[in-house]
Amino acid sequence: MRLGLVTFLCCWSCSFVGQTESAPLTCYSRAVALSEEIMTLLEKIHNDNRTMRCAEILPKIFLDVHNQCITSKLRDFLYVLLNHPNQSCKKRRRMESLKLKVQNLHFIITRICFRDLVFRSDDCEAIDTGLVSPYFAEDRLQILQEER
């Protein structure tokens, strides 16, 4: 009788856990979420009076996990963060948080999700400027529709 009660309680509690939690994170979802966190944090760093001077040396970056150039751009961005000339900037919480998030995203993309991510473009300029050129498939589709 006691075993039946324990089994019932386990099944009952597991049914509630399944309803409240979402699906587990995948490499792709974690990379997308982390890139969004980095972009939000960068915006805060650029707009905050205490960290505005620290952000002057940082290169502009627009993260897109579907762009093959993200690995080299993250590596370069991380190099600038690690070798920031102003020591007081290195010790700021937001700058430390940014450094850790960029390191984590670089590690996730290059090591953990190495074969899982699908890169749709290799437009390095898009990461620098934020202007994404259309994919070849979209251009081709537009031409085919115009010919009809």
Q: How many CB atoms lie within 10 A of CB 140?
A: 11
- Give domain limits for the chain: 27-118
Output the pLDDT for position 16: 44
| Contacts (Cβ under 8 Å, ≥6 apart) of 128 | 59, 60, 61, 62, 73
Output the pLDDT for position 8: 47
Tell me 121's DSSP state: B
Report the chain (148 residues): mean pLDDT per 10 consecutive residues. 49 45 72 93 93 90 86 92 92 94 93 76 75 57 57
Report how far residue 104's alpha carbon sits from residue 63's, in angstroms, rounded to the nearest whole number. 14
Output the pLDDT for position 105: 93
Output the pLDDT for position 141: 54
The two tokens of residue 148 are 């009809």
The two tokens of residue 107 are 């590690």
